[in-house]
Chain A
Amino acid sequence: MAIKSNNIFFQYEETPILENVSFVIAPGEFVGVFGPNGGGKTTLLKLLLGFLKPQRGSIEILGTSPKNAREKIGYVPQISHLDRQFPITVLEVVMMGCLDKSPWHSYTKDAKEKARAALQEVGMLDFQDYSFGTLSGGQTQRVLIARALVSKPSILLLDEPTASVDASAEESIYKLLERLKGTMTIIMVTHDLQVMLQKVDRFVCVHRDVVSYSQAEVCDHFAQGLYHPPLKRN
């Protein structure tokens, strides 16, 4: 299994966010994650990344703990979490994907080549010397995807990569993800259920617990924030 969550419970101070969450994600699966705001999507991502520890239960990523599996995970954060005024070039951002723990580390020629190859993969090589803050929303997302891909991860986690980007940028991100589909496990938080319907293998809804839905079980009500268990269809 790529990811196995066993009965996890997590709360911030006295407020439970996730309760009795169990699910399994197979290697190479493309899973869309949706749910109401405050339902626990971001908390679940942080648990998978090992930034938070569940108070009860356990998570296994590629057969080990999330903290030990970090090197095999690529993460694409929401662009609103980054400082667009920070003086940094596109190439430098992508090279951050090659950082290692050793205290004397600085970027090698090899890291630069890997970063350029990742930028080429997302169609952003011509922008390598641009200031990160001058990019459009869609370009920024593609650069962050390149940063996540540069270390050749087995699992790619994306937190709403199409939020605040225009339609053509959204399309280019989807095309990129379709190319990556099957080569790694992809878990993507999204509110765009209708668009994602034909692209993902299945969905999971995070709303204190986690419920899995096949494509056929995704209901029009969800887009309006009305979540319910899968309906049995004739």
Chain B
Amino acid sequence: MSFLAGIAASITSGIVGSYVVTKRIVFISGSIAHSVLGGMGVFLWLKRTYAITWMNPLHGALVAAILSALLIGWIHLKHKQREDTVIAAIWSTGMAIGVIFISLTPGYNVELMNFLFGNILWTSTTDLILLFSLAGFILLATMIFHAKFQAVCFDENQAQLKGISVTKYYLFLLVLVAISVVILIQVVGAILIIAMLAIPAAIAGSFSPRLSKMMGWAVVFGCVFTTLGLMLSYFLNWPPGATIALTAAAFYLLNLTRNYKSIP
């Protein structure tokens, strides 16, 4: 079950992470990933305080991720000069809201700790269906809109000149990032999402001159890192999310060394 969850997460992180790395919006993705804590905190508080049983912190994460993605995207497109400050503000505001609502929530919040640091070992069949459905949606959206996403990521002016709505596609791309964040929460947790979103794609980028091939390689690397990370966490008795992130980081360092040596 955990290995399958890792594969779903790798498909997502490989595809969306490649756009994130090439468009250089890793920091934006970090802000979306951390702001989900607010949504998770609010939904958990509502669930426990008002006994709304259908509410799940993951639903709150999805709402918060999409809202912050749209807000950041709008600021990026309309008010570029203040972008970095606003990204940092959304990052910290989301976390602050989360911390406050967690403190107001009665009982011991082990559920939230799993979402914060990930616990792929707890993946249920329902989770797996959700993960693969969301990964399938991302794959389908990419197959349909790849030419547009590529144009918006590479040269916004050219895309605009050809009549493509840069605003629409950029916001859609950020919504895909938001969905990926929710998928990856399950695997590595909100705090370590950036590792899975950026590292496999960053390594893949040094292997391919084409974005589509880069995505393929990034999916492969993601699968290797999650599988290897899971096995290491089992033998070392380490937390799986952090072990997966560390495995990815170790390969990234190795790849940097390889690139450094290849510079004449």
Q: How many residues of A contact B (CB 8 A)?
A: 31
A51 with B163: in contact, given A86-B22, A87-B214 (CB under 8 Å)? no
B154 proximity list for chain A (CB < 8 A): 82-83, 86, 88, 93, 96
B47 proximity list for chain A (CB < 8 A): none
Q: How far, in angstroms, from A99 to B145 measured CA to CA in the complex? A: 12
A88 proximity list for chain B (CB < 8 A): 150, 154, 209-211
Q: Could you jot down 21 A-B contacts, CB within 8 Å?
A: A49-B161, A73-B161, A77-B158, A81-B155, A82-B155, A83-B22, A83-B24, A85-B205, A86-B22, A87-B211, A87-B213, A88-B210, A88-B211, A89-B209, A89-B210, A96-B151, A97-B162, A99-B147, A100-B163, A103-B148, A147-B158
Question: Within 8 Å of chain B (Cβ to Cβ): is A106?
Answer: yes
B150 proximity list for chain A (CB < 8 A): 88, 92, 96
Question: Within 8 Å of chain A (Cβ to Cβ): is B103?
Answer: no
Q: How far, in angstroms, from A85 to B158 measured CA to CA in the complex? A: 18
A107 proximity list for chain B (CB < 8 A): 147
Q: How far, in angstroms, from A89 to B161 measured CA to CA in the complex? A: 20
**Mask of A60-104 contacts with B, CB within 8 angstroms, 1/0:** 000000000011010101000111011111001100110111011
B249 proximity list for chain A (CB < 8 A): none
A232 proximity list for chain B (CB < 8 A): none
A83 proximity list for chain B (CB < 8 A): 22, 24, 154
A51 with B209: in contact, given A83-B24, A99-B147 (CB under 8 Å)? no
Question: Within 8 Å of chain A (Cβ to Cβ): is B26?
Answer: no
Q: How far, in angstroms, from A131 to B205 measured CA to CA in the complex? A: 12
Q: How far, in angstroms, from A97 to B154 measured CA to CA in the complex? A: 13
Question: Within 8 Å of chain A (Cβ to Cβ): is B157?
Answer: yes
Question: Within 8 Å of chain A (Cβ to Cβ): is B153?
Answer: yes
Q: Are A104 and B157 in touch, CB under 8 angstroms?
A: no
User: Nearest B residue to A71 by beta-carbon distance?
Assistant: B163
For the side of the interface on B, what is the size category?
20 to 34
**Mask of B139-178 contacts with A, CB within 8 angstroms, 1/0:** 0000011111011011101111111100000000000000
- Residues of A at the B interface (CB closer than 8 Å) are 49, 51, 70-71, 73, 75, 77, 81-83, 85-89, 92-93, 96-97, 99-101, 103-107, 130-131, 134, 147
Q: Are B159 and A99 in touch, CB under 8 angstroms?
A: yes
The 7 tightest CB contacts between A and B, nearest first, are A131-B209, A99-B162, A101-B163, A87-B214, A87-B211, A106-B147, A86-B154
Interface of B is mostly: helix
Question: Within 8 Å of chain A (Cβ to Cβ): is B56?
Answer: no
Q: Are B144 and A100 in touch, CB under 8 angstroms?
A: no
Partner of A87, one of B151, B161, B164, B208: B208
A87 with B210: in contact, given A99-B164, A103-B144 (CB under 8 Å)? yes
**Min distance, Cβ A137 to any Cβ of chain B, angstroms:** 17
A99 with B160: in contact, given A88-B210, A89-B209, A89-B210 (CB under 8 Å)? no
Q: Are B155 and A77 in touch, CB under 8 angstroms?
A: yes
**Min distance, Cβ B116 to any Cβ of chain A, angstroms:** 33
**Min distance, Cβ A93 to any Cβ of chain B, angstroms:** 8
A87 proximity list for chain B (CB < 8 A): 22, 205, 208-211, 213-214
**Min distance, Cβ B39 to any Cβ of chain A, angstroms:** 29
**Min distance, Cβ B224 to any Cβ of chain A, angstroms:** 20
Q: How far, in angstroms, from A167 to B160 measured CA to CA in the complex? A: 32
Q: How far, in angstroms, from A104 to B144 measured CA to CA in the complex? A: 6
A100 proximity list for chain B (CB < 8 A): 162-163
Q: Are B157 and A75 in touch, CB under 8 angstroms?
A: yes
User: Nearest A residue to B143 by beta-carbon distance?
Assistant: A106
